[in-house]
Amino acid sequence: MNRFNLSALSALLLFSSAAVAETVFVTLEKDNALAVVDPVDGKLIKTVPVGQRPRGIALSPDGKTLFIATSDEHTIKTFDAETLKQTGKLPSGEDPETFALSPDGKFMYVSNEDDSAVTVVDIAAKKAVHTIKVGVEPEGIAASPDNTWVVSASETTNMLHWIDNQSRSIVDNTLTDPRPRAVAFTADSKQLWATSEMAGTLTVFDVASRQAVQSVKFDVQGVSSDLIQPVGVVIDKDRRYGYVALGPANRIAVIDAQSFKVEKYLLVGQRVWNLAFSPDQKRLYTTNGVSNDISLIDLTDHKVSKSVAVGRYPWGVAVKP
């Protein structure tokens, strides 16, 4: 009887957690591993070794393949998202850190910091098909959802390079605030949001004209301005809110994506860098590099619900539905 009750209970638990059975993957820069987290229970499930200094991470649009940039091995590895077994390697150039996938999942755009270039990789052929010279130290990179643009931000040149995805060549360069770190397109591909680490700002560009239309300066009460170093940025699909990770300010800025007013600063762990939505966009996950955990933010009421220890130097985050 007792056992029956127990199994009934566990079946119930399984069923209830199946409603939001997403998995969060976090690269651990210092542990050379990938942390697998169940965000519903707020628990670390396991840690899997993936290679030296894993940083950038992304899931293919079909959710089957996980791409992880193992910087010290100078390659981007592919893993089966179910079994987490390595399935291959992609040529990425030296020291890959960040990369972006094309919306159809066929190509990958890798920032090569040391070579001041963007490498275009054909994923199926496992080949680098193009190299595009950009400014010094390219870092942030994003492909527009309508597949027309790839934008690369160079940290030292303080420029955004607008690469036409058809011709794979730069058609425009725009200056932005000092040390741009991350770029993100809105879901309608009409805006590009770029964060600047040194200036402590977010700049919003109109994609059609490629001109800056808004600048948001972050200011957290009681936190000195040199600690406000915006990095990761995401915008929800309805463009109601955008979220920016403020690095050592240990905060996430919640921005009204229509009026560009900062509505709130949410306290998370130390040196927060990268962000990812849950598939239904009801939750946001942040990697906190110094406090070795990730924070789970409930987006229905904009509250941090939990922080989960994952391992040393969590860097990137990807969510599998």
Partner 1 sequence: MKFLHYWRAMAGIVGRELLRFLHQRERFVSALVRPLVWLFVFAAGFRAALGVAIAPPYETYILYEVYITPGLIGMIQLFNGMQSSLSMVYDREMGSMRMLMVCPLPRWFLLVSKLIAGTAVSVLQAYAFLGIAWLYDIQAPAMGYVWILPALLLSGMMLGALGLLLSSFIKQLENFAGVMNFVIFPLFFMSTALYPLWKLKESSVVLYQLAQYNPFSQAVELIRFALYGQFNQPALLFTAAAFLLFISAAIVGYNPSKGMMVRKGGGE
The only residue of 223, 236, 260, 281 in contact with partner 1, by rule CB under 8 A: 223
Contact 158, 176 (CB under 8 A): yes
> CA-CA distance, 32 to 52, in Å (whole number)?
5
191 burial class (0-12, 13-18, 19+ CB within 10 angstroms)? buried
The number of beta carbons lying within 10 Å of the beta carbon of residue 229 is 23
Interface segment toward partner 1; rule CB under 8 A; list 56-64, 83-91, 122-130, 301-309 = 301-309
Amino acid identity for residue 257 in this structure: A
> CA-CA distance, 225 to 268, in Å (whole number)?
17
Tell me the three state secondary structure of residue 16: helix
User: Is residue 221 at the binding interface for partner 1, with CB under 8 A as the rule?
Assistant: yes
The only residue of 68, 295, 310, 314 in contact with partner 1, by rule CB under 8 A: 295
Q: How many residues bind partner 1 (CB under 8 A)?
A: 17
Strands lying side by side in the sheet with 251-256: 233-235, 241-245, 251-256, 262-267
**Alpha-helical regions (H) of the chain:** 2-18
Half-sphere exposure of 13 (CA within 13 A, CB side): 8
User: Is residue 156 at the binding interface for partner 1, with CB under 8 A as the rule?
Assistant: no
Contact 281, 319 (CB under 8 A): no
Q: How far is the CB of 268 from partner 1 (least distance, A)?
A: 6
> Would you give the binding string for partner 1 spanning residues 167-206, x where CB under 8 A is met?
----------------------------------------
The only residue of 113, 307, 315, 317 in contact with partner 1, by rule CB under 8 A: 307
The only residue of 80, 240, 303, 321 in contact with partner 1, by rule CB under 8 A: 303
Applying the rule CB under 8 A, the residues between 9 and 68 that interact with partner 1 are 42
Q: How far is the CB of 270 from partner 1 (least distance, A)?
A: 6
Applying the rule CB under 8 A, the residues between 244 and 263 that interact with partner 1 are 250
Interface segment toward partner 1; rule CB under 8 A; list 27-35, 175-183, 197-205, 290-298 = 290-298
Q: Where along the sequence are the contacts to partner 1 (CB under 8 A)?
A: 42, 221-223, 250, 267-270, 291, 295-296, 303-307
